Amino acid sequence: MSRTESERTFAALPPARGRGFARTWWGQAWLKALEDTALDGEQLKRGRKQAREGAVGAVCVRPGRVTAVVRDRDRTPYRSDVLLREFTDTEWDRLLEVVVDRSGHIAALLDRDMPPQLAEDAAVVGVELLPGIGDLEPECGCEAWDHCPHTAALCYQLARLLDEDPYVLLLMRGRGERELLDELQVRSAARAARDLPRAAEEAAPPAPEGVPAREAFGAPGPLPLPGPPPAVAAPGRPPSLAGGTDPAGGLDVAALEFLAADAAVRAQRLLADALAPGHATAPVPAPLTVWQDTVRLTAAGPPAPVAARLATGCGRDRTDLARAARAWEHGGAAALTVLEEEWTPDAEALARARAQLAAAWEGDELAPRLRATANRWTVVGADLQVRYGHDGRWWPYRRERGRWWPAGPAGPDPAAALALAGSEG
């Protein structure tokens, strides 16, 4: 994927062999707008099939328009566009104020999530964030006047991109991710500065210097707690530690700078998680082991000398560490467990896995021959494999240089995972 301030281009996605194109509520809303708009259901059906078969090329997203070359069943290419109205400056002002009003909205956007409450709050102030009936306007080189299979295929493919990143929709509405985050940061700071004097005026008289703990904990009702801190749009930038003075013996300046930057990134993510809805009831993640933290740091892309130190100190060979780091990039600790753990599903889990495999290849699609070993299904005669996780998701793997390497993130559809494993890395 390449990116500019006003345009993003996504490489062609691998074929999607599963049942659905959208997992998130906003991706489903996008498809509903398409299906409610199109007059010919048969055209949508053909477009959905073409999207499944990988007929949509690279997708270019910019304000008001999404474009791709879509190949017909006879391989004829057509430039296809879908247009969506950009918001006016007034509408953007209303939407940004809605986001700034709730810290949870900012935290969700930072986590590439779009809570339904955000769309509802925006609608209250007259901004319809999601497209509705008639909002998706098609243009295609085949000269169809309504949605044709090519524009339909583009819409179905775009739903997959929206699932991963709601900023795609916001860019179509007229603002890029960086521009949005910068504006939210400015507005949040201005709001805090404006509210500070008022908060000082309304503050209660100063509390006494302290009271005995027995008295405080024996008081009726909950203890007063300070409000949550505001969300942070981007990690802080740690200072440079290099200077004109040589460091003390044994002090690795590059490693310290890398660890400081990593700590800033983790702090920003932890704060976003803490401000997200449902955080109070979410389970506390298990602490990382030394090996998991080594893999996490390696996946963060440290400078070459730091990476060499991590490889030397972990007690594993470089290939093992490289495979583990790639797994971490695709799914963190869960992906690392799938790489390293081979387990045998019980009868219930095995029945679910087999049902998903049976449903993955539709109609006249020829299912590959698979050989099952524990939780791993390998394509007979090919260096491709899918692994079944404890959570019921499928992980793609590809054999490279005699070892199985993670080939992508997990998903609910084994056919899509296998297609991802077979695509170019």
Among 150, 169, 197, CA closest to 44: 150
Contact predicate 99/105, CB 8 Å? yes
User: Closest Cα to residue 31, out of 177, 140, 165, 135?
Assistant: 135
In contact, 407 and 394? CB cutoff 8 Å = no
Closest of 99, 153, 156, 160 to residue 129, by C-alpha:
99
326 has a pLDDT exceeding 90: yes
| Ranges 18-27, 39-48, 242-251, most confident | 39-48
Percent of the chain with pLDDT over 70: 87
**pLDDT for residue 2:** 39
pLDDT at position 67? 95
How confident is the model over 116-140, as a mean pLDDT?
88
The tens digit of pLDDT for each residue in 177-201 reads 888 888 888 888 777 777 555 554 5
Per-residue pLDDT, 205: 54
How much is the pLDDT for 3? 42
State mean pLDDT over 68-82.
92
> Does 364 or 95 have the greater pLDDT score?
95
Task: Tell me the pTM.
Answer: 0.49
Nearest to 118 by CA among 136, 133, 98: 98
> Taking Cα atoms as reference points, which of 335, 321, 358, 341 lies closest to residue 406?
335
Distance CA 236, CA 264 (A): 6
Q: How far apart are CA 69 and CA 64, in angstroms?
A: 17
Sign of CA dihedral 398, 401, 403, 409: negative
Closest by alpha carbon to 337, among 385, 401, 393, 412? Answer: 393
Among 21-25, 249-253, 290-294, which stretch is predicted with the lowest mean pLDDT?
249-253
